[in-house]
């Protein structure tokens, strides 16, 4: 029994005993810190190797970023230029609209001037004709170039005429008034409308005061559903109930 114990003792502490390793104790947090450092180094090394591989293959990340930044600057500059050109285009459109409006107004004024010029030429021709003929047979008052035509609004008509006093020796100013008898047909019935009405506020516009000649122009209105057939113009001298001159005109259908 004693021999067995000695044999076990030799096996544990003798030459054939198991080897014993002596290691330095390292705290656990230092181990994790070292592992984190190694992991970060590995990641950085992998990123460097990736970039190096792309540069070797012809791709440079920094150059790409520079080009991308340049393209963004170009896009911003293009946007700014586009906004500037848009503002210029809007201003040009506004100026063009103003010019078109001015052209329309100028064309309208030219038409009015042409019409006025035509009326003046007609007046001159009429006066020359009166001077070249014997004026002894002319009446004391004449109605010349009576025209009545529809105006812009429904039921509105415009009239114009030229009044002449003839070859009056006294050259006294003629004073009087003008009235129109408008023959209309509505719903199968005929009627006469007096213009201006005695109670009309614009009756003063039909008063006359001139010496040799006077151009009359105005408008009157009827029911838009009524059809105007004839218009008779009558000129009265102040203090005289009988018309000094009358003239009628028929309107076309």
Q: DSSP letters along 60-116, please?
A: -HHHHHHHHHHHHHHHHHHHHHHHHHHHHHHHHHHHHHHHHHHHHHHHHHHHHHHHH
CA distance 215 to 159: 11
Q: What pLDDT score does 235 carry? A: 93
232 alpha carbon, distance to own chain's centre: 45
Classify 138-250 by CATH class. Answer: mainly beta
Q: Which of 33, 30, 8, 27 is nearest to 18 (CA)?
A: 8
- Helix, strand or coil, per DSSP, at residue 124: helix
Q: What pLDDT score does 251 carry? A: 85
Distances (CA, A) of 215 to 9, 145, 161, 175, 226: 155, 10, 6, 14, 28
Q: What pLDDT score does 50 carry? A: 66
Q: What pLDDT score does 167 carry? A: 57
DSSP state of 198: T
Distances (CA, A) of 33 to 23, 26, 41, 45: 20, 12, 12, 18
Q: What pLDDT score does 198 carry? A: 66
Q: Does the pTM of the predicted model rise above 0.75?
A: no
pLDDT along the chain (253 residues), means of 10: 60 56 64 79 76 60 76 87 87 87 90 84 71 54 88 89 71 85 90 81 80 86 91 91 90 68
CB atoms within 10 A of CB 202: 12
Q: What pLDDT score does 134 carry? A: 47
Structure tokens at 33: 């810190």
Q: Which of 80, 183, 165 is nearest to 127 (CA)?
A: 165
Q: What pLDDT score does 54 carry? A: 62
CB contact at 8 A, 208 and 178? yes
From first CA to last CA, the distance across the chain in angstroms is 157
Q: What pLDDT score does 78 carry? A: 86
Domain map (residue ranges) of the chain: 138-250
β-bridge partners, 174: 210
CA distance 242 to 132: 31
How many residues comprise the chain? 253
Q: What pLDDT score does 158 carry? A: 92
Q: What are residue 170's phi and psi, to 5 degrees?
A: -75, -20
């Amino acid at each position: 029994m004693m021999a067995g114990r000695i044999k076990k003792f030799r096996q544990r502490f003798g030459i054939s005993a198991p080897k014993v390793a002596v290691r330095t104790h390292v705290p656990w947090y230092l181990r994790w810190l070292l592992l984190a450092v190694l992991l970060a180094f590995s990641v950085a090394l992998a990123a460097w190797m990736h970039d190096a591989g792309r540069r070797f293959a012809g791709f440079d990340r920094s150059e790409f970023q520079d080009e991308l930044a340049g393209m963004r600057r170009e896009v911003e500059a293009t946007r700014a230029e586009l906004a500037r050109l848009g503002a210029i285009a809007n201003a040009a459109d506004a100026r063009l609209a103003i010019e078109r409006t001015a052209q329309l107004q100028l064309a309208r004024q030219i038409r009015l001037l042409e019409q006025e010029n035509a009326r003046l030429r007609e007046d001159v021709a009429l006066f020359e004709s009166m001077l070249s003929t014997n004026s002894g047979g002319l009446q004391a008052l004449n109605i010349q170039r009576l025209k009545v035509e529809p105006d812009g609004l429904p039921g509105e008509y415009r009239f114009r005429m030229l009044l002449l006093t003839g070859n009056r020796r006294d050259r006294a100013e003629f004073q009087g008034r003008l009235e129109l008898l408008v023959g209309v047909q509505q719903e199968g019935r005929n009627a006469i409308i007096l213009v201006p009405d005695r109670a009309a506020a614009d009756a003063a516009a039909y008063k006359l005061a001139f010496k040799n000649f006077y151009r009359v122009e105005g408008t009157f209105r009827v029911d838009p559903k009524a059809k105007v057939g004839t218009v008779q113009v009558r000129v009265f001298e102040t203090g005289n109930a009988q018309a000094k001159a009358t003239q009628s005109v028929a309107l076309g259908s």
